[in-house]
Structure 1
Amino acid sequence: MALNLARAGTDLIVWNRSPAAAEALRAEGAAVAPAVPDVFARSEVVLMMLADDRVTDQVLDRDSAAFADLVTGRTLVQMGTTAPAWSRGLAEQVADAGGHYVEAPVSGSRVPAETAQLVAMLAGADTDLDVVTPLLRPLCREIVRCGPVPNGLLMKLAVNTFLISMVTGLAEAFHFAERHRLDLATLLAALDAGPMASPVSRLKGRKLLDRDFTAQASIRDVLYNNHLIVEAAETAGIPSPLLDACLELYAETSSAGHASDDMAAVIQALEMRSPHL
């Protein structure tokens, strides 16, 4: 994502928890900051894409007096996937410090990120979204405005509800076909030709056919997202039966040693549950 910004000519200063990851950006003309405060000191808008809320709290040093100095007069754009309630709290803290806050989680894994085909779901004040939207265009195929915080993250969780259940269903279809001794290449051809075909089904279907579980979206990350969806459903008092079942399957896959594999590896939980023929 940062490479796409740099290549689009954005005046970019970057920091990464793994310093070596920033070297490719330096080669594309981005300035590399030695520490997080340097990024804020030299920026009007700060984009964050971090692993989870715990890491983000640490990076921002939210419990210290220095936090207000970081965000005062700046626009903080939270692009990671976190609990909506946590994001609302961060938005309030940023506003209290005299800063601006925008949610901008994205839909799309490694390939859409590399090819600037992400879909961003923005939430925040309209004036702040007007500032942020042009900055995100080099990353995205579409930018969708979702209303006030935390609607961006709630929208991301709604999208991921469909994504997780769809890919899990695809894995179950391959497992079903395999146990009935059907030709899996023929299954993939039938799916690709049918009305349910999509870029996701084609990518994950090929992974299932080839047993290639090199991660695009890892089991670990999907399990984290699945937890967020179930928790948000519980908070709203609504059922989530499909995602409850998916949560069990991804947890089983992770516990079996496949946390770093692609989410298509969820088929292995189904295989572990099945009697060997």
Structure 2
Amino acid sequence: METRVGFIGLGIMGRPMAANLRRAGLPLTVWNRSPRAAADLASLGAVVRPTPSAVFEASDVVLLMLAHEAAVDEVLQRGSEAFVRMVSGRALVHLGTTSPGFSAALGRDVEAVDGDYVEAPVSGSRIPAERAELVALVGGRPDVVARVEPLLGAMCREVVRCGDVPAGTGTKLAVNLYLCTMVAGLAEAFHLADRLDLDLEVFRRALDSGPMASAVSAVKLAKLVARDFEAQAAVRDVHTNTRLIADAARAAGVHSPVLEATRELFRETEAAGLGALDMAAVVTALERQDTGRAGRVSSGPATRHTPSGRDHG
């Protein structure tokens, strides 16, 4: 019998991930707090349910892509009879990024009521999600992982088995430490090039042509040059990630000075009211520190008119 799939959480990442499940021909039931995103999935043939519990009732495997731990607990109603009814006899796949301790405790709670649990936080942002090019970092019992791996394969270009829970979450945090500090470093390099009055398109070509180029640097540098901060990975979510990474590092007795500097930049950016913009907008924190005011901020692309590429407006 074909696996009935449920998907809860249709935000920046969840909506394209769920859409790829439908494009793979999987029967899909969805719920989202905001009905507009759910309506988009309905146009692809997904069945929209009025509550999370209704999604569980209609599904054998339910995938959660929620923003933070509190949202997971709220949706699942952990500690209640409703939680038992929802997860008992079903597989729950936790796709979001939380602390290792939270994921491990959630897995114990699910298994205590005869459910199955897999953590599969994904590495990637909106564009890889749209292209089904995410990387799933999976933790769980091998038999349960094998059962849900075809579903992950519909959304991801690679599924990496990390071991038992919470090894998948731990791997995601370690990967994200590199991602967050890399993008902050790229923003700082861009800011220096801008303040040196360099031609920013030339700077972009120089970096994209060299050994430091990557898929992330190409996308984020293009956004910085265009002053396009439409969110692919939002500042507020990245700031939350840096907190989770810092907490995990402290728990492990690991010193993380580069992360702490990066975390402060994202904190300042969110505190300035820019939390909904792309993580590349972290450059505005550097601009404020240098000039006492942020540069022009946009949620979409802008055109530069000066020969050097600098924005003097």
Superposition TM-score tier, normalisation by shorter sequence:
over 0.9
Q: Which runs of 4+ in 1 moved over 2 A?
A: none
Greater Cα shift, 163-172 or 13-22: 13-22
For the pair 1:267 / 2:291, whether they are aligned, the reply is no
Please state how far the C-alpha of 1:275 moved relative to its aligned partner: 4.2
Aligned residues: 276
1:167 is aligned with what amino acid?
Answer: V
> Which residue does 1:167 correspond to in 2?
183
Deviation per CA, 1:181-209: give whole Å up to 9, x if none.
Answer: 22111110100100111111111001111
Q: Which of these residues, 56, 60, 64, is aligned with residue 76 of structure 2?
A: 60
Structure 1 unpaired stretches of 5+: none
For the pair 1:222 / 2:234, whether they are aligned, the reply is no
> Which residue does 1:92 correspond to in 2?
108
For the pair 1:136 / 2:155, whether they are aligned, the reply is no
Higher helix share: 1
RMSD: 1.0
2:194 is aligned with what amino acid?
Answer: E
> Which residue does 2:34 correspond to in 1?
18
1:38 is aligned with what amino acid?
Answer: A
Please state how far the C-alpha of 1:84 moved relative to its aligned partner: 1.0
The CA distance in 2 between the partners of 1:258 and 1:54, in whole Å, is 22
Deviation per CA, 1:106-164: give whole Å up to 9, x if none.
Answer: 01111011111111011000000000101111101111000000111111111111111
- Listed as ranges, the matches of 1:119-130 within 5 Å are 119-130=135-146
SS at match of 1:14: strand
1:188 is aligned with what amino acid?
Answer: R
1:59 is aligned with what amino acid?
Answer: V
SS at match of 1:173: helix
SS at match of 1:239: coil
Return the TM-score normalized by structure 2. 0.86
Structure 2 unpaired stretches of 5+: 1-16, 293-313
Q: Which of these residues, 106, 110, 123, is aligned with residue 126 of structure 2?
A: 110
Please state how far the C-alpha of 1:20 moved relative to its aligned partner: 2.1
- Listed as ranges, the matches of 1:173-252 within 5 Å are 173-252=189-268
> Which residue does 2:296 correspond to in 1?
none
SS at match of 1:197: coil
The CA distance in 2 between the partners of 1:250 and 1:93, in whole Å, is 33
